[in-house]
Structure 1
Amino acid sequence: MTDTADARKAAAAGWFQELRDRIVAAFETLEDANAPGPFEGLAAGRFDVTPTSRTADDGSDAGGGLMSVMRGGRVFEKVGVNWSEVHGQLGERAQKAMAARGVPGMAEDPRFWASGISLVAHMRNPHVPAVHMNTRMFWTPHAWWFGGGSDLNPCLEYAEDTAHFHAQMKAACDPAGPLDGQDRYDKLKAWADEYFFVPHRGRARGVGGIFYDDLNTGDWDADFRFTQDVGKHFLPAFVPLVEKRRADPWTDADKDAQLVHRGLYAEYNLVYDRGTKFGLESGHDANAVLMSLPPEAKWH
C-alpha cells in the first residue's frame, strides 16, 4: 500500500509541475507577441523563479516548491504560477479541521502530504480579466483527495468571454461523467458560485467557473485524470481572452474599476480563501502563499 501511495504522490506532483511549466511558457509567449497601443515602450515580461521551502517544527525539511512570479510585463501586470510539494504533521487546529471533514484517526497519526499548482494573474489591461486556477492532491494515512478549479474575475464583464470560459470548464468536466448523481459541471459551477461569494460585500468576486474539494470517488485514477483535465483546459479557456482584448484601449475610469475590483479580490483571499489559510497555518513560505495579492488595488 505504501508503494502505491508513493507512486501516486510522485505522479500527482510530477503532473502539477509539468502543468506549471506549460503555463509559464505560454504566458511568456503572450508577453513576446508585440502589439500596438498599450504595449509600446514596454519590455516583454519574464518570470522570476524562486525555490521555496517549508521547515517542520523540529527543524527538519518538510518540502517546498517553486514560486514563479512575473511583474510589470506587457500583458501581465503581476502573475504568479506556484508549484509545491510539502509534507509533515498537521497541527492541532488542522487536525480538528480534518476531523470535521470526516477524516478519521488524525489525532493518532497526523502525517500529511500535499502537492499542487496555484495560479493568479492580474492583467495590465482592464479589459482582460484576472483569473485564478489551482489543482492539488492531499494525502494522509487515512484518506486522500483532490481539489481545485478555476474562476474568471473581470472588472469589465463581457458575456461572450464568460461563455467561452465556462464552455471550457464544462469540456473539462463532461468526460468524467456525473458526480454524486449530478451533472459534474453543474455541480461544480454551483460550488464555485457559493465558494467565491464575498459575504461582507454581498456579491461574487467574479463570474465564476468551477470548484471542487475532498474529491475521492474511490477511483484514484479517474479522479486524477479529471484533475488533469481541469488543468489542461485552463490555457484554452484563458489565452484566447487575452489575445482578443490585450490591445484594447482603456480609460482612467476603466483602470479605476480594475483597481477597485482588485480590492475585492484581496479581501476575499485574505478573509475566506482556504488555500491561503492552510498555507499560512502549515508554515509554508508566506511570500508564496500571498503571491495572489494584486500589485496595486484601491478601496472607495
Structure 2
Amino acid sequence: MTMTEIFADKKARASGWFRSLRDEIVAAFEGLEDSHDTGPFADQPAGRFDVSETKRHSDDGSDAGGGLMSVMRGGRVFEKVGVNVSAVFGTLGDAAQKSMAARGVPGIEKDPRFWASGISLVAHMQNPHCPAVHMNTRMFWTPNAWWFGGGSDLNPCLEYDEDTAHFHATQQAHLDPHSENLYPELKKWADEYFYIPHRNRARGVGGIFMDDRNTGDWEADFALTQDIGRAFLPAYVPLVEKRRVDAFGEAEKDAQLVHRGLYAEYNLVYDRGTKFGLATGHDANAVLMSLPPLAKWV
C-alpha cells in the first residue's frame, strides 16, 4: 500500500478530532457568556458564535478543501474570539517547498502535494484582567512525510504569577504521561517561537509549542496532539472565571490595547501559520482571524 492509501483513515481521524475539539471549546466559551457573574459587562447580551464556511481554491480555481470559521464579537466575556477548523489540500508553491525543505521535510520538492488539517483559536477579552490566549493543533501530510504541530500560550496584558503557574502546570500534567521530558522541551520551544526580536521580549508568558513532530509512531504522536488539545480548557477557563469580575479603569484598558499591538506585530511578521495560510490561498479572513478588534501603538 502507498502512504496515500495508508493515511486515508488517519487523516479522517485527525480532522474529526480537531472538529470535535472545536465543538467542545465553542460550547464552553458560550457557557462562559451565559454566566450571570460576568462583572463589568453583565448588562450586555451574551455573545454567540457566528459560523461560516471557508473555502480554499487551487490556482486553477478548483475546490481544495475548507473548513469552519466561528467568530464571536462583543460578548460579555469575549471582545473577539475565533475558533477555526479546516482540512485543505493541493500543491505547494515554490516558496513553501523551499521553506519546508530547509526545515528538513523529506521529498517535498519531488512531490509537493499536501493535505493539512487543524484547529486554530485566538481569544481577545473584554476585561483586561482576563488574559488573551492562543491555541492550535494540526496535522500535515505529504506523499513522503507527515507530522503534527501545535500548542497553546497565554498572553496577558496584566500578569498574575498564579495564573501563569496554573496554565503551565495544567499543560505539564497532560504532557508528563507521554514523557517527563516533553514539558520542558515544548516550553522552551514556545519561549523561543513566541519571542519578538524587534521588541526584545516575549509575546506573553509562554506555554507549549511543537512542530514537525514525527517520531515514526503516528498513534503516539496523535495521542500527544490530542492531549495538548485536551489541556486547553482546564488550563484557561478557570483563569477567565476568576478574572472576568475584576474592576478596571482607563489605565488597565490602555495597557490591554498596547499589548494587543504587540500581538498583532508578532502574528503579521513572524507567525508561521499566518504566512502559510496566506501563501497557500486559504480564506484570508480565516487566516487573519487572530488579529484583535482594537489595538494601540505608543
TM above 0.5, yes or no, is yes
Q: What amino acid maps onto 2:147 in structure 1? A: W
Q: Which residue of structure 2 aligns with residue 188 of structure 1?
A: 186
State how far apart, in whole Å, the 1-side matches of 2:173 and 2:108 are.
Answer: 36
State how far apart, in whole Å, the 2-side matches of 1:40 and 1:64 are.
Answer: 36
**1:124 maps onto 2:126 in alignment:** yes
Q: Which residue of structure 2 aligns with residue 43 of structure 1?
A: 45
Q: Which residue of structure 1 aligns with residue 229 of structure 2?
A: 231
Q: Which residue of structure 1 aligns with residue 249 of structure 2?
A: 251
SS in 1 for 2:267: helix
Counterpart pick for 2:289 among 265, 288, 291: 291
Q: Residue 36 of structure 1: CA displacement?
A: 5.7
Aligned length: 296
Q: Which residue of structure 1 aligns with residue 213 of structure 2?
A: 215
Please list every run of at least 4 consecutive aligned residues from structure 1 whose deviation after the TM superposition is greater than 3 angstroms. none
Give a deviation string over 1:174-201, Cα, whole Å, max 9, x none: 11115xxxx1100110010000000000
Give a deviation string over 1:136-177, Cα, whole Å, max 9, x none: 000000100000000000000000000000001101211111
Counterpart pick for 2:100 among 86, 98, 101: 98
Give a deviation string over 1:19-77, Cα, whole Å, max 9, x none: 00000000000000012641232000000001000000111110000000000000000
SS in 2 for 1:19: helix
Change (3 A) 1:98 1:80: same
**1:198 maps onto 2:196 in alignment:** yes
Greater shift, 133-142 or 39-48, is seen at 39-48
SS in 2 for 1:176: coil
Q: Which residue of structure 2 aligns with residue 140 of structure 1?
A: 142
**1:281 maps onto 2:283 in alignment:** no
TM-score by length of 2: 0.98
Q: Residue 109 of structure 1: CA displacement?
A: 1.2
Q: Which residue of structure 2 aligns with residue 58 of structure 1?
A: 60
State how far apart, in whole Å, the 1-side matches of 2:106 and 2:224 are.
Answer: 26
SS in 2 for 1:260: helix
SS in 2 for 1:43: coil
RMSD: 0.9
SS in 2 for 1:264: helix
State how far apart, in whole Å, the 1-side matches of 2:118 and 2:108 are.
Answer: 22
Q: Residue 104 of structure 1: CA displacement?
A: 2.7
Greater shift, 113-122 or 168-177, is seen at 168-177
Q: Which residue of structure 2 aligns with residue 115 of structure 1?
A: 117
Q: Residue 236 of structure 1: CA displacement?
A: 0.1
State how far apart, in whole Å, the 1-side matches of 2:250 and 2:289 are.
Answer: 26
Q: What amino acid maps onto 1:251 in structure 2? A: G
**1:156 maps onto 2:154 in alignment:** no
Q: Would you say the 8 A contact 2:38–2:244 is kept in 1?
A: no
SS in 1 for 2:297: coil
Q: Residue 108 of structure 1: CA displacement?
A: 2.4
State how far apart, in whole Å, the 2-side matches of 1:152 and 1:57 are.
Answer: 37
SS in 1 for 2:198: coil
Change (3 A) 1:7 1:265: same
SS in 2 for 1:233: helix
SS in 1 for 2:199: coil
Counterpart pick for 1:267 among 265, 268, 287: 265
SS in 2 for 1:160: helix
Q: Would you say the 8 A contact 2:38–2:77 is kept in 1?
A: no
Q: Would you say the 8 A contact 2:71–2:80 is kept in 1?
A: yes
